[in-house]
């Protein structure tokens, strides 16, 4: 299994597009940080913790780039005709699929770490390493760093769901473009679909309603989340997570690649 994972990681990190995506994310983080501080310094409101949370919106690049990798990591083998060479190895199809899934998750974690480190170091420099929290309000008076870790952690759970969905579509339909398109649709239109169906009680079980888990960090979630809890949302997402992975495994295990 370790060799399979290492092989999949080599496929990811040896491609130029991977480092182009990382470079784009870093450049955007740098530009956004300077722009944020230039704008907020004008009214004297710039501070480290506020910048870290407000600039976390850049994480949508992590979603996009992880979706691209998840959509291509299986479908790409069929597109390039390398799936036969991969499956003639003694490893079972389940192990092959699991190695690809693990490699996709490692890539997502790698992007999250890179973004967090870049934002942390850059904003620490821009604020003169001033880690005070004069105006940044934290729910329940917890430390800003703890709040920040919760924020990024919940964001990563949402990323896990969207990436797993893209991985399922890639495995089931062998189409990276379809996987990217549908995953992007879920990610960008989830709030719209939620607003359309929120008056129906069964909408509480739609995945769209639970992709933004950061809403539970606020004291008053309000809106469509006022009758739900973090535990309920995690339960719903867990069911979808299991279903997505079962579909991926069943379809990939039974697919005929002889043709």
Structure tokens at 89: 């190895």
44: left (phi over 0), alpha (psi -120 to 50) or beta: left
pTM, two decimals, is 0.84
Domain residue limits at 27: 2-254
Structure tokens at 29: 């983080």
Asked if residue 116 belongs to a domain, the reply is: yes
* The pLDDT value given to residue 257: 61
Asked if residue 131 belongs to a domain, the reply is: yes
Q: Give the number of C-alpha atoms closer than 13 A to the C-alpha of residue 90, restricted to the C-beta side.
A: 2
Contact 171, 251 (CB under 8 A): yes
Instruction: Report the C-alpha gap between 70 and 106 in whole angstroms.
Output: 11
Q: Which helix (H) or strand (E) holds 249?
A: helix 230-254
Asked if residue 107 belongs to a domain, the reply is: yes
Instruction: Report the C-alpha gap between 5 and 13 in whole angstroms.
Output: 12
* pLDDT tens digits for range 21-48: 999 999 999 999 888 888 776 555 567 8
Q: Which of 149, 131, 116, 155 is nearest to 50 (CA)?
A: 131
Contact 25, 114 (CB under 8 A): yes
Instruction: Report the C-alpha gap between 134 and 146 in whole angstroms.
Output: 17
Angle ∠(31,34,39) on CA atoms, nearest 5: 120
Contact 51, 33 (CB under 8 A): yes
DSSP string across 122-180: HHHHHTTT----SS---GGG--HHHHHHHHHHHHHHHHHHHHHHHHHHHHHH--HHHHH
* The pLDDT value given to residue 234: 92
Per-residue model confidence as pLDDT tens for the chain (259 residues): 778 888 888 888 988 999 999 999 999 999 998 888 887 765 555 678 878 877 888 888 999 999 999 988 888 777 776 776 766 767 777 888 898 999 999 999 999 999 999 999 998 888 877 777 655 556 556 777 888 888 888 888 989 999 999 999 988 887 888 888 888 888 888 778 877 887 778 888 888 888 888 888 765 444 455 667 888 989 999 999 999 999 988 888 877 665 4
Question: How long a stretch of residues is the chain?
Answer: 259
Asked if residue 259 belongs to a domain, the reply is: no
Instruction: Report the C-alpha gap between 101 and 74 in whole angstroms.
Output: 9
Instruction: Report the C-alpha gap between 33 and 55 in whole angstroms.
Output: 7
* pLDDT tens digits for range 163-211: 999 999 988 887 888 888 888 888 888 778 877 887 778 888 888 888 8
Contact 70, 183 (CB under 8 A): yes
Asked if residue 35 belongs to a domain, the reply is: yes
Number of domains in the chain: 1
* The pLDDT value given to residue 222: 45
Burial (CB count <10 Å: 0-12, 13-18, 19+), residue 227: exposed
Contact 224, 241 (CB under 8 A): no
């Amino acid at each position: 299994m370790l060799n399979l994972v290492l092989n999949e990681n080599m496929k990811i990190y040896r491609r130029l597009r991977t480092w182009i995506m990382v470079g784009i994310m870093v450049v955007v983080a740098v530009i956004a940080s300077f722009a944020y501080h230039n704008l907020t310094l004008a009214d004297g409101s710039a501070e480290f913790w506020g910048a870290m949370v407000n600039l976390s919106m850049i994480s949508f690049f992590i979603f996009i780039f992880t979706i691209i990798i998840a959509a291509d990591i299986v479908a790409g083998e069929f597109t390039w005709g390398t799936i036969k060479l991969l499956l003639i190895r003694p490893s079972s199809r389940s192990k092959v699929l699991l190695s690809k899934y693990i490699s996709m998750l490692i890539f997502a974690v790698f992007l999250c770490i890179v973004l967090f480190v870049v934002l942390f170091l850059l904003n620490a420099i821009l604020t003169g390493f001033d880690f005070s929290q004069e105006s940044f309000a934290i729910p329940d008076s917890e430390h800003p760093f703890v709040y920040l870790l919760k924020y990024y952690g919940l964001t990563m759970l949402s990323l896990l769901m969207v990436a797993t969905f893209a991985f399922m579509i890639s495995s089931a339909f062998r189409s990276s473009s379809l996987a990217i398109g549908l995953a992007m649709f879920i990610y960008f239109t989830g709030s719209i679909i939620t607003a359309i169906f929120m008056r129906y009680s069964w909408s509480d079980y739609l995945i769209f309603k639970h992709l933004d888990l950061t809403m539970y960090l606020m004291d008053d979630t309000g809106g469509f989340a006022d009758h739900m809890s973090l535990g309920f949302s995690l339960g719903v997402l867990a069911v979808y997570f299991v279903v997505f992975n079962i579909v991926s495994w069943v379809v990939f295990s039974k697919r005929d690649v002889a043709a």
